[in-house]
Amino acid sequence: MANLLDLSPGEWTAVALSLRVSLVATAVALPFGVAVGWLLARKNFWGKTALDGLVHLPLVLPPVVTGYLLLISFGRRGPVGEFLYDYFGIVFSFRWTGAALSCGVMGFPLLIRPIRLALEAVDRKLEDAAATLGANRMAVFFTVTLPLALPGVIVGVVLCFTRALGEFGATITFVSNIPGETQTISAAIYTLMQVPGGDQAASGLVLIAIAFSFAALIAADWLGRRATFRFHGE
């Protein structure tokens, strides 16, 4: 066991990079996820079906296709990528930021679904009560709606984070597999497997990946139960 986890410095770099990419991807996606989840749960507008389809597309498209689409739009010569570089100096292609972008896009449908369902389940009558007590719409959202939807938000965050940790196809297509920059755990395992006898070397990273996924599931369960308990507890 001890020598199974005896990772090389390069492998530790991949682990640290994976965590950073997944955390940033989830943190940046979260406010967008809440906003889009709220729009889909509460509003009727022209193009709602199209928006719903668009955010769920990464779930059904081959990841390679998602990566390709990201490359042609967010690459340095892509329309979005060029704009972001010219005006904000943000570069995605072949950087860890690009890995975070592709992980966020891939995790987005998993983030939105539970948030949307939780927002739909919030009792609108409680929001009315808050309004009569002097809370404007923004205050109602942050003091009543969002706290009541919290268990769903937690589930969404964990699903998005674990999806980001495991992301492979879109990331490698978009930002390649550069050690120290875009080589996440999945990509590192893939690289090791290309070498004869590499399955032995990959086993440490595989164990780490399993441990992270388990930890995330347990954390989600615990946080979710705590949040639900708050509504019924003493």
Partner 1 sequence: MTVLAVDVEKQLGALHLRMHFLAAGGATALFGPSGAGKTSVVNMIAGLLAPDRGTIALNGTALFDAAAGIEVPPYRRRIGYVFQEGRLFPHLSVRQNLDYGRRMSGQPRDGNEFDHVVAMLDIAHLLDRRPGKLSGGERQRVAVGRALLMRPRLLLLDEPLASLDAGLKREILPYLVRLRDEAKMPIVYVSHLAAELRRIATTVVRVSAGSVVASGGLELLDEADADAAI
Nearer to partner 1, 144 or 208 (CB): 144
Site for partner 1 in 135-174 (CB under 8 A): 135-136, 139, 143-144, 147-148, 150
- In whole angstroms, how close is the CB of 59 to partner 1 at the nearest point? 31
Instruction: Determine the Cα angle at 175 with ends 58 and 200, to 5°.
Output: 95
- In whole angstroms, how close is the CB of 161 to partner 1 at the nearest point? 24
- In whole angstroms, how close is the CB of 151 to partner 1 at the nearest point? 11
- In whole angstroms, how close is the CB of 120 to partner 1 at the nearest point? 17
Which x/- pattern, by CB under 8 A, does the window 88-127 give for partner 1? -------------------------------------xx-
Main-chain phi, psi angles of 88, to 5 degrees: -125, -5
**3-class SS of residue 234:** coil
Instruction: Determine the Cα angle at 19 with ends 12 and 113, to 5°.
Output: 150
For the chain, the first-to-last Cα distance in angstroms comes to 44
In angstroms, rounded to a whole number, what is the distance separating the alpha carbons of residues 197 and 100? Answer: 30
Nearer to partner 1, 70 or 148 (CB): 148
Give CA 35 to chain center in angstroms: 15
Q: Stretches 69-77, 103-111, 193-201, 226-234: which one binds partner 1 (CB under 8 A)?
A: 226-234
In angstroms, rounded to a whole number, what is the distance separating the alpha carbons of residues 145 and 118? Answer: 9
Residue pointed to by tokens 């109602």: 140
Q: Which residue ranges make up the site for partner 1 (CB under 8 A)?
A: 125-126, 128-136, 139, 143-144, 147-148, 150, 230-234
